[in-house]
Amino acid sequence: ENDREVLTWQSFGDGMRTLAETIYESGWMPDLVVAVARGGLLPAGALSYALGTKSIGTLNVEFYTDIAETLPEPVVLPPLMDTSALRGKKVLVVDDVADSGKTLKLVIDLVSKHGVVSADEEVVEVSEVRSAVIYEKSRSIVKPDYVLKRTDKWINFPWSTLPPVSDPNKVGA
């Protein structure tokens, strides 16, 4: 269909290498990668290998349940990562797409509130948070720092195009 943007496994793999090179060439390297689950898991894993960043964490955020079904606001779901571990670190938040941008904004806000507080209660070192996405849509309320491609179409990602596996012998499956 030409009303869809289709990302293949091959272009995903090549694209993540390209995005890692863009990050490297920007002169900024993360101490830690945070994947926005589930959509950000595969790009975050690919980027962490390509960047050589071994520390990786995930935050589970749910928003869309289907193409037509949207929760009013994205919500962080359990299990929760201990975001205080991000204090004073350079953090790269990775997601598949910034569409409305609400999911990315939620995670960036959550991660960036962790500064290092000195004895006199002064914030001395703030976590530096940057974000990377495969796709950015024009309506996004946040501008990710690193973007591979831009589109306003609905995107088919290789990991979520097919429905979950089911028993072919099951009646009515």
State the residues that interact with ligand 5GP by CB under 6 A: 39, 63-64, 74, 95-104, 154-155, 157, 160
Distance of closest approach, residue 173 Cβ to ligand 5GP, in angstroms: 23
Nearest distance in Å: CB 167, ligand 5GP:
25
Nearer to ligand 5GP by Cβ, of 95 and 108: the residue is 95
Distance (Å, whole) CA 41 – CA 35 = 5
Residue 87 or residue 130: which is nearer to ligand 5GP going by CB? 130
Rounded to a whole number of angstroms, the minimum distance from the CB of residue 100 to ligand 5GP is 3
- For residues 31 and 136, which CB has a smaller minimum distance to ligand 5GP in the complex? 136
Q: In this complex, which beta carbon is closest to ligand 5GP, that of residue 118 or of residue 160?
A: 160
Smallest gap from Cβ 32 to ligand 5GP, in A, equals: 20
